[in-house]
A and B are shown apart, each in its own frame.
Chain A
Amino acid sequence: MFFLKLVLRNALRARLRTALTVLGVVIALVAFGLLQTVVNSWYAGAEAASGTRLVTRNAISLVFPLPIYYRERIRSIEGVRGVAVSNWFGGVWRDERSFFAQFAVDAENFFPMYPEFRFRPDEWQAFVRDRRGAAIGRQLADLYGFKVGDRLPIRGTIYPGIWEFTVRAIFDGRDETTITRQMYFHYDYLNEFVKQRFPRGADRVGVFVVEIDDAARAAEVARAIDAEFANSLAETLTETERAFQLSFVAMVETIIQVISGVSFVVILIILAVAANTMAMTARERLAEYATLKALGFGPAFVARLILAESVTIGLAGGLIALAATPVVAAGFFESVGRSVFARFEVQPVTYAWQIAAALAVGVLAALVPMIRAANVKIVDGLRHVG
């Protein structure tokens, strides 16, 4: 008890310095937590992907389409339960900054494979009936304030012209892990346009989404699909939906790795600050430590005193950071994050990292001063002037 009291008194002696150090630790750990959350959120889309869905695309690269008749051939492969088409539209609504993804799909095949998208029955009927109808995810609708019945003009970048859609349905996600930040419309509408403008490009689709009976047989079914089209005009590459999503994430992986790496730099910065605080504190109190030793306390006691003070400061910062991180993360998401991320939640592992970093900073910052104070000779220490 006496020991703790002494540590606390010591920590509060230079109040401004302690307060500034704690503040530094808080800022650094919150920044660290935010960066880690950015990295995790980046991978969130891929984690939400189902294990029983495969994606078949052109083996050359995604920009090459596949003929639509592949749909029937894939359907006949053993282990396949359903096949749907999905075609990237790449349109721009309003301007490039308000970006969201649009996909042309065959709704009656596509949505049964995605039970995580929940439609109201009347809206679903209205969407299916309207050839120019669009189904909008809840997150997207909330982001730009889209309502059922809204007219949605979208400028095509791949398919030229201004396309007029009508919002017929807004679907919800099954839970908060479902990403509903995209728009779907009817593939037939797209295909008819292509037929008129570029007849040779008609009846082609970007990818097939394939539902399989058994997730454990995913690799086997994927191989069977690719074998079906080997040596044909358009060879295919089939992978799980998760691997497909990850390949997009991996594109900017270099940058994500840099962010992840940089988030540890901030810990180093604050380590330097905390170490400096402890070094100054210990130097100023060298005479006191010598006095303690003269009174009969051993070097280990003096070292423990410094360690405990340093860890107290580190943990104080760590605890405040734990409380502040979700608040700051929510604020970040509301202000800028919403246009980039579908979901932005601080993971439990991030909190664990923060507390571990706070402890590590506390211990490492105390290291050099501990050794110095423990080794100081009583005479030298008493003679020392701060």
Chain B
Amino acid sequence: MQLPLIYIARNLWVRRLTTALTAGGMALVVFVFAAVLMLDAGLKATLVATGSDANVLFIRKGSETEIQSGIARDQAALIETLPQIARDAEGRALASKEVVVLNSLTKADTGRRSNVPIRGVPPVGLALRPQVAIVAGRMFRPGSNEIVVGSAVARQFAGVEIGRSLAFAQRQWTVVGVFDAGRTAFDSEIWGDSEQLLQAFRRFGGFSSVIAQLASPDAFDALRAAVDADPRLTVEVKRERKFYEDQSRALSNFISYLGVTLSVIFSLGAIIGAAITMYSSVATRTGEIGTLRALGFRRRSILAAFLLESLLLAAAGGAVGLAAATFLQTITISTTNFQSFSELAFSFALTPRIVAVSLIFALAMGLIGGVLPAVKASRMRIVDALRAD
């Protein structure tokens, strides 16, 4: 026979202050735990969404980012002739030869300088990224000194308002628009004309990367084989999505290792809190336990009742912690991604998986904290328990 849930819940309610303090401690741990997972999920979502499965990206062999890479003009021309690359109605390759450089700009809030990628994009490059849309002003005119800034750059950096101009590489570049790229890494970039930027920066290495659309989604293996087999090409081809996913690896590992380590250490504190509460709950109700046993409740039921009380306590803490964590979704974090050496904006993202994992984490704390007191309660002998106090 089981003890009714309402009986268990009422025990928690009677000792409101204790329940609130214990659940509060757990809520803080769950909050930290969920926040870390949300940050990691947000980072991954931003970078994974940046790449498209239909596109591939060419960079120089051995380089890990577009910044390190260099693709000479003859190599870029060779890439355009590869048969696995899609073509438009006039037979031109859907391949965008781009240049990416870093420019250090001043952040509006801290006044510190941070690196912002400036991407030179030819007209075909815009066609390859349908998610990019102008939200204010207009797109830059090809062949001009005009630039457009991503929405995250517009929010976080000073001096990038429409109409202002940035001075770099001995030229003035006028900001003519703000674009939104649907919460992808492009939001943290500045875009301009590819040829103009290439000339202004006098890059000796040529383009930074070539982004191309596959003729068919399953042409990737054939394309890679063709690239590897061609001794003239010293480039590496990756699916665009994979490339951006890889860019998140270092930062994502850093965040998740750090976060999980912290959560586990912190959870020790909360587990101890739960154990103290449950031990005291058992101690003050010794007589009650004896009565229940005398009435015919089995040891198993007593064990289950106290475990359930502890789990209920943890569930309450977990729910409060998660509820607080949902508010984090409105916050955008901006930090340097050490792999690409440039500023990247991303937000906390709550996924169903994080909700489930956080609640399981909370319940695990309750279970670990509650198991010893519950065992102690269930082992009491009826006579001793009734005689207590």
Which chain A residues border B32 with CB–CB below 8 Å?
262, 265
- Of the candidates A252, A265, A272, the one whose C-beta lies within 8 Å of that of B336 is A252
Is the CB–CB distance between B276 and A160 below 8 Å? no
Contacts of A247 in B (CB 8 A): 112-113
Binds B, one of A16-24, A123-131, A215-223: A16-24
In Å, the complex CA distance between A325 and B204 comes to 52
Q: Which of B31, B276, B335, B341 contacts A255 (CB 8 A)?
A: B335
Please name the residue on chain A nearest to B25 by beta carbon: A272
A254 and B334 in contact (CB under 8 A), knowing A60-B101, A90-B68, A284-B284? yes
Distance in Å: Cβ of B254 to nearest Cβ of chain A: 8
Docked CA distance A266–B261 (Å): 13
Pairwise interchain contact B61-A160, C-beta atoms closer than 8 A: yes
Which residues from chain B contact A386 at a C-beta distance below 8 Å?
Answer: 284
| Beta-carbon contact of A251 and B63 below 8 Å | no
5 nearest A-B pairs in the assembled complex, by CB-CB distance: A251-B336, A200-B204, A272-B25, A273-B273, A201-B204
B144 an interface residue at 8 Å Cβ cutoff?
no
Contact present for A251 and B284 (CB under 8 Å): no
Contact A266 B335 (CB under 8 A): no
With A60-B101, A262-B32, A279-B18 as given contacts, are A269 and B269 in contact (CB-CB < 8 Å)?
A: yes
- Establish whether residues B338 and A252, one from each chain, have CB atoms under 8 Å apart when the complex forms: yes
> Which one, B60, B101, B169, B280, contacts A280 given CB within 8 A?
B280
With A61-B101, A200-B204 already in contact, the answer to whether A273 and B269 are too (CB < 8 A) is yes
Q: Which size class do B's interface residues fall under?
A: 35 or more
Which one of A42-50, A150-158, A173-181 is at the B interface?
A150-158
Tell me the minimal C-beta distance from A38 to chain B in angstroms. 9
Q: Cβ of A251 and Cβ of B101 under 8 Å apart? A: no
Contact with A along B186-226 (1 / 0, CB 8 A): 00000000000000011011000000000000000000000
Total interface residues on A, CB under 8 Å, equals 54
Are A272 and B262 in contact (CB-based, < 8 A)? no
* B249 → chain A closest CB, angstroms: 9
The verdict on B370 contacting chain A, using a C-beta distance below 8 Å, is no
Tell me if A160 and B63 are in contact (CB < 8 A). Answer: yes
A150 to chain B, nearest CB (A): 23
Chain B neighbourhood of A161, CB < 8 A: 62
Residue pair A31, B62 in contact (C-beta under 8 Å): no
Report A138-172 CB contacts with B as 1/0, cut-off 8 Å: 00000000000000000111101100000000000
A160/B62 contact (C-beta < 8 A), A61-B102, A265-B28 known:
yes
A96 and B247 CA atoms in complex are apart in Å by 13
* Residue A367 is within 8 A (CB to CB) of chain B in the complex: no
Is A27 part of the contact surface with B, judged by Cβ < 8 Å?
A: yes
Q: What's the Cα separation between A157 and B63 when bound, in Å?
A: 5
| CB–CB B21/A272 < 8 A | yes
Asked if B24 is at the interface of the complex by the 8 Å CB criterion, the answer is yes
| Least CB distance, A109 to chain B, in whole angstroms | 25
Asked if A233 CB lies within 8 Å of chain B CBs, one says yes
In the complex, 19 of the A-B residue pairs with CB atoms within 8 angstroms, ordered by the A residue number, are: A20-B275, A21-B272, A23-B272, A24-B276, A31-B262, A31-B265, A59-B168, A60-B102, A155-B62, A157-B63, A158-B68, A161-B62, A198-B204, A233-B202, A247-B112, A247-B113, A252-B336, A270-B269, A273-B273
A285 shortest CB reach to chain B, Å: 12
Chain B nearest Cβ from A349, distance in angstroms? 21
What are the interface flags for A260-298 relative to B under an 8 Å C-beta threshold, 1 for contact and 0 otherwise? 001001101110110111011000100000000000000
Query: Are B284 and A275 neighbours in the complex by a CB distance under 8 Å?
Result: no
Interface residues in chain B, defined as those with a beta carbon under 8 Å from any beta carbon in chain A: 17-18, 21-22, 24-25, 28-29, 31-32, 60-64, 67-68, 70, 101-104, 110, 112-115, 168-170, 201-202, 204-205, 234, 250, 254-255, 258, 262, 265-266, 268-270, 272-273, 275-277, 279-280, 284, 333-336, 338, 341
Flag if A64 contacts B101 (CB, 8 Å).
yes
Closest-by-CB residue of A relative to B24 is: A272
- Assembly CA distance A157 to B65 (angstroms): 9
**Inter-chain contact B275/A268, CB cutoff 8 Å:** no
Enumerate chain B residues within 8 angstroms of A35, measured Cβ to Cβ.
262
A77 — which chain B residues lie within 8 A by C-beta?
none
- Distance in angstroms between the alpha carbons of A158 and B63 in the assembled complex: 6
Determine if B279 and A272 form an interchain contact, defined as CB atoms under 8 angstroms apart: no
**A293 → B minimal CB distance (Å):** 22
* A63 proximal to B (CB < 8 A): yes
Tell me the bound Cα distance from A270 to B235 in angstroms.
Answer: 55
A321 at the A/B interface (Cβ < 8 Å)? no
Q: A158-B68, A160-B62, A255-B255 are in contact. Are A280 and B336 (CB under 8 A)?
A: no
Q: Is the CB–CB distance between B28 and A268 below 8 Å?
A: yes
- B168 partner residues in chain A, CB cutoff 8 A: 59-60
Cβ of A300 to closest chain B Cβ, rounded Å: 23
Alpha-carbon gap, A157 to B262, bound state (A): 33
Complex CA distance for A45 and B64, rounded to whole angstroms: 26
With most chain A CB atoms within 10 A of its CB, the pick from B32, B67, B280, B284 is B280
Looking across the interface, which residue of chain A has its beta carbon closest to that of B67?
A63
Chain B residues near A368 (CB-CB < 8 A):
17
Produce 1/0 per residue, A23-43, CB < 8 A to B: 110011001000100000000
**From residue A309, how far is it (CB to closest CB) to chain B in Å?**
15
Q: A28 contacts B269, CB within 8 Å? A: yes
Residues on B with C-beta less than 8 A from A268 are 28
- Smallest CB–CB gap between A25 and chain B, Å? 9
Q: Is the CB of A27 within 8 A of B60?
A: no
Chain A 48-70 interface mask (CB, 8 Å, partner B; 1/0)? 00000000000111111000000
Expressed in whole angstroms, the Cα–Cα distance for A28 and B25 within the complex equals 12
Q: A323 contacts the other chain (Cβ, under 8 Å)? A: no
